[in-house]
Amino acid sequence: MTNHPNRSTYRYFKVSPRGFANEYTIYRVPLDKVDEVELEYDGYADQEPGRWCGWTTDRRATIPGVAVDWADQHYA
């Protein structure tokens, strides 16, 4: 079922630490880690003014080399 071209085994999460439109990181998150991401970034935008995060459907995120694997989040 995941081999269908319109289905993916990943979701993409976009994080902007200072709120600038051109300064952000996209993480490639396996479907089984979605809850972990939401828990880690719960209240993220409320901690400092301007910063934001959320799931993205931007097709550019799926291009190889654009998104950071969730397992490598601490190295990015």
2 in any annotated domain: no
40 in any annotated domain: yes
Number of domain units in the chain? 1
Quick one: what percent of the chain has pLDDT higher than 70?
Answer: 91
39 in any annotated domain: yes
- In the chain, the largest separation of any two C-alpha atoms, in whole Å, equals 41
47 in any annotated domain: yes
Task: Judge whether 12 and 61 are in contact, CB under 8 Å.
Answer: yes
70 in any annotated domain: yes
State the residue range of the domain holding 28.
Answer: 10-75
Whether 3 shows a pLDDT value over 60: the answer reads: no
49 in any annotated domain: yes
The values of phi and psi at residue 15, to 5°, are: -130, 130
Report which of residues 7 and 67 the model is more confident about.
Answer: 67
Mean pLDDT of 54-71: 94
Whether 25 shows a pLDDT value over 60: the answer reads: yes
62 in any annotated domain: yes
